[in-house]
Amino acid sequence: MAQKSLARQVVVVTGASSGIGLATARMAAARGARVVLVARSTEALDRIAAGIVREGGEAIAVAADVGYRAEVEEVAARTLVAFGGFDTWVNNAGLTIYGRLEDVDQEDHERLLRTNFWGTVNGSLVAVAHLRKHGGTLINVGSVASDLAFPLQGMYSASKHAVKGFTDALRMELRHDDAPVAVTLVKPTSIDTPLPRRARNYMDREPMLPPPVYRPEEVAEAILFAAEHPRRDIVVGGAGKLFTAGKEFAPGAYDHLAGSIVAMQKRPGSPRRPEGALHAPQADDTGHVRGDQPGYVMRRSAYTRASLHPVAATSAAIGLGFAAATLLRPRRGHRS
């Protein structure tokens, strides 16, 4: 399905106050899209929108808790008034909890599912009601945890599994109706965002992401690519694809990695703010694209870039093969 160029689109981004959402919104605006910023913090969104406008872009801020359908419908209504509609809707809002499943309060479990799962459901259904009439793209941000489970982030993994199941079913129903709506599920690996700092933390240590870790801009690139060139699924980070393939091949062996995965999610130091931003936004977490992940953060994912541009990747591989053959070919006058 061919879509408009990004410079002619209106793009709605939830979870736009930090991390992947903020990187996506800023990048979309820089490429000419009109952007609708959605998150819970009015002050943070107003500040971000003002920054985009100063840079010559167009953006409006709509504060909303995506876990509540009425607030998401208000986002769509405000977008219709401001821009006449939208072409791409990105469901990115999400939070996590670090802790053993049996130790986490029921209220915290339910709040996470309200944001991660019901926020995606609400955003998708509200967006599709509009996109059915005019066409466009729905992009849901899942995770490598849509295919894998992580101890200490059990409910997060469950929510991302649910997002994948919902997204796949919605895509099938839209295709059955021949609706002009493309649906993409983006599945990032560990990304250096403020997510661990914003997490509800039940551990006695400060949380971190299991390596390897990639930049948020790599996910934003994948999201904006899908806005113009729809794909069914996009995995960001070759490591995520490798782990998923390994788990499918030997699920029992993956289960035995539990101890290592637990260790990789803890960093030295006591918890800085155990309550996190699960139930309410925290001012010092907004406005930041990057987190403070210790260790090396990978700038690019060669696997993801190749999956988005398979023809170019194949041509490059052929070219490298030809160059290698030329270099290895015996020269005239020399014995092989």
Q: Provide the residue ranges of all domains of the chain, joining segments of one domain with +.
A: 6-300, 302-331
- The separation between the first and the last C-alpha atoms of the chain, rounded to the nearest angstrom, is 52
Neighbour-count burial for 143-157, b at 16+ CB within 10 Å, e otherwise: bbbbbbbbbbbbbbb
The model's pTM is: 0.90
CATH of domain 6-300: 3.40.50.720
Do residues 141 and 188 make contact, with C-beta atoms less than 8 angstroms apart? yes
The pLDDT tens digits for 289-319 are 999 988 889 888 888 888 888 654 454 344 4
The pLDDT tens digits for 193-237 are 999 999 999 999 999 999 999 999 999 999 999 999 999 999 999
pLDDT for the residue 38: 98
Active site residue 214: no
pLDDT for the residue 324: 43
Do residues 123 and 70 make contact, with C-beta atoms less than 8 angstroms apart? no
CA distance 168 to 184: 9
The pLDDT tens digits for 117-155 are 999 999 999 999 999 999 999 999 999 999 999 999 999
The active-site residue out of 68, 98, 156, 202 is 156
Axis-axis angle for helices 106-113, 154-176 (nearest 10)? 30
